[in-house]
Amino acid sequence: MSEERYEYAKRLYKRLGINTDEVLDKLGKVSISLHCWQGDDIAGFENGAVLSGGIAATGNYPGKARNPEELMADLDMALLQVPGRHKINLHAIYAIPDSPVERDKLLPEHFEKWVQFARDRGLGLDINPTLFSHQLAADGLTLSHPDENVRRFWIDHCKAMRHVGEYFGKELGRTCVNNVWIPDGYKDTPADRFGPRARLKASLDEIFSEQIDRKYLIDTVESKLFGIGVESYTVGSHEFYMNYAANNDVICLLDNGHFHPTEKVSDKIPSMLLFSEKVALHISRGVRWDSDHVVSFDDELKEIAKEIVCNNALNRVIIALDYFDASINRVAAWVIGMRNVQKALLYAMLTPHDKLKHAQDTGDFTRLLAMNEELKTYPFGDIWDYFCESRGVPVREDWYSQILDYEENVLSHR
């Protein structure tokens, strides 16, 4: 069905110098890390701790995953609606040990079931130490805590998780990304801004001191502007981590919900690419104070994709999703975000960058604006439909009826 429309659209894009067959080939190879925590509102399998760390999933849509089996089944259902081969992003609290294990004692074997899951499906795995939802993070401080014993626990946890990540990389033959995000900060104006950052720096130095083959594990550090309850000061700010990454063998992770509302991650990407080999992203959607709405196919997402694609940086920008919406069907939330990131990448690939760049460099801004506006009504959707159809996933909103069936037959019985 969509083939006819594709052939027509293909000719239009060809006139712009774009080979859509090549584009689809390229798009099919882009791997996105799907965050497991959208499936259960970041609850994890430890049973007990409530979500903390200045983040919150709001809403109580029925059917959330309550155990590993349910979460895996939900992930399967989501991935059926998404073209391509991707990765699953795990957090330490999603370990599956036979009996409870403290976070600083977690071992690769506690994640064996995830490796099995990933291997059976040709997926990769990424990991995050969990430095929240725990009694030793109850005051909102972890790696920057003034108490050395608290810092020790979290340092050991982060070290343990690097070994888990190395194991993922070795077992699955795909480099694992280990991302450190901490909630540390203060609600009100701190007396000392320097001390906590000095302690965080020392903690990170110890965590990353062990050399692990970059073939298996890449370390990223994620900054943030503020969180609920930590409005005045965040230890792990963007300046802190950008400098830390520049001086150490780790990579900056930019979450586009973690900056001032008018500050754009799309604009940061080219600057980062000039100075470091790689940059990592948590693609999210900020709405006022919140940074975790389901990713929409909006202007900023398109700009982010443009900076990745037109700077030829698909191999240098590590793409992961990060949001948690508990007010809608959680499986649908995954599908919407994944498909939107792919659409944005496709949209960027269908843009004649050379022509637009030429207009900019020759000062022909009228042509630039005219072209950019006309491109918006090119038959991008026909290319997207064909991509879905040719990769064996539902075309357009057809995926939604599958999710509705799943909701009726599975989710509603939980």
Positions marked active-site: 181, 222, 224, 255, 258, 282, 290, 292, 322
Which one, 292 or 307, has the nearer CB to ligand RNT? 292
How would you label 77-107 residue by residue, b for 16+ Cβ within 10 Å and e otherwise?
bbbbbbbbbbbbbbbbbbbbbeeeeebbebe
Per CB under 6 A, 219 contacts ligand RNT: no
Scanning residues 273 to 312, which ones bind Zn ion (CB under 5 A)? 282
**Under rule CB under 6 A, residue 128 binds ligand RNT:** yes
Tokens 């992003």, located at residue: 89
Residues 179-198 that bind ligand RNT (CB under 6 A): 181
Indicate which of ligand RNT, Zn ion, none lies near residue 42 (CB less than 5 to 8 Å, by partner kind).
ligand RNT
Residue 344 interacting with ligand RNT (CB under 6 A): no
Q: Does 282 bind ligand RNT (CB under 6 A)?
A: yes
Closer to ligand RNT by CB, 128 or 351: give it.
128
Judged by CB under 6 A, the residue of 46, 74, 126, 255 near ligand RNT is 255
Residue 224, contacted partner among Zn ion, ligand RNT, none, CB below 5-8 A by kind:
ligand RNT
Q: What is the C-alpha to C-alpha distance for residues 357 and 372, in angstroms, rounded to an integer?
A: 11
Closer to ligand RNT by Cβ: residue 87 or 282: 282
Report if residue 131 touches ligand RNT, rule: CB under 6 A: no
Nearer to ligand RNT, 255 or 382 (CB): 255
For position 74 contacting Zn ion by CB under 5 A, the verdict is no
Window 163 to 182, contacts with ligand RNT (CB under 6 A):
181
> CB under 8 Å, gap of 24 or more: what pairs does 225-229 form?
225/258, 225/259, 225/260, 226/54, 226/185, 227/53, 227/54, 227/55, 227/183, 227/185, 228/54, 228/55, 228/56, 228/289, 229/54, 229/140, 229/187
Q: Give least dist CB 307 to ligand RNT, A.
A: 20
Q: What is the footprint of ligand RNT within residues 68-127 (CB under 6 A)?
A: none
Among 24, 32, 55, 75, binds ligand RNT (CB under 6 A): 55
Q: Which is nearer to ligand RNT, 17 or 59 (by Cβ)?
A: 59
Question: What is the size of the binding site for Zn ion (CB under 5 A)?
Answer: 3
Q: Which does 13 bind (CB under 5 to 8 A by kind): Zn ion, ligand RNT, none?
A: none
Least spacing, CB of residue 41 vs Zn ion, in Å: 15
Residue 95 neighbours by CB under 8 Å, 6+ apart: 45, 101, 106, 110, 111
| CA distance linking residue 24 with residue 28, whole number of Å | 6
- Residue 69 class from Cβ within 10 Å (0-12 exposed, 13-18 middle, 19+ buried)? exposed
Count of CB atoms within 10 A of residue 228's CB?
14
Interface pattern 119-158 for Zn ion (x via CB under 5 A): ----------------------------------------
Per DSSP, 54 falls in state S
Q: Which residues contact 284 (CB under 8 A, 6 or more apart)?
A: 255, 256, 257, 291, 292, 293, 295, 321, 322, 323
- CB neighbour class for 413 (10 Å; exposed up to 12, middle 13-18, buried from 19): exposed
CA dist., res. 342 & res. 339, Å (int): 5
255 binds Zn ion (CB under 5 A): yes
* Closest residue by Cα to residue 182 from 163, 214, 207: 207
Q: Binding to ligand RNT by residue 334, rule CB under 6 A? A: no
Selection from Zn ion, ligand RNT, none that 128 binds (CB < 5 to 8 A by kind) is ligand RNT
**In the block, which residue shows the tokens 């995050």?**
128
Choose the one of Zn ion, ligand RNT, none that binds residue 144, judging by a C-beta under 5 to 8 angstroms depending on kind: none
Beta-carbon contacts of 385 under 8 Å, excluding residues fewer than 6 positions away, are 2, 5, 6, 395, 396
- Work out how close the CB of 180 gets to Zn ion at its nearest, in angstroms, rounded to a whole number: 11
Distance CA 242, CA 320 (A): 19
The torsion defined by the Cα of 64, 130, 185 and 210, in degrees rounded to 10, comes to -160
**Residue 155 touches which member of Zn ion, ligand RNT, none, C-beta under 5-8 Å by kind:** none
Residue (of 214, 213, 202, 114) closest to 158 by Cα position: 202
Q: Which of residues 322-361 bind Zn ion (CB under 5 A)?
A: 322
Sites for ligand RNT among residues 309-328 (CB under 6 A)? 322
Question: Which residue's CB comes closest to ligand RNT?
Answer: 181
Interface positions with ligand RNT (CB under 6 A) = 37, 42, 55, 128, 181, 222, 224, 255, 282, 291, 322
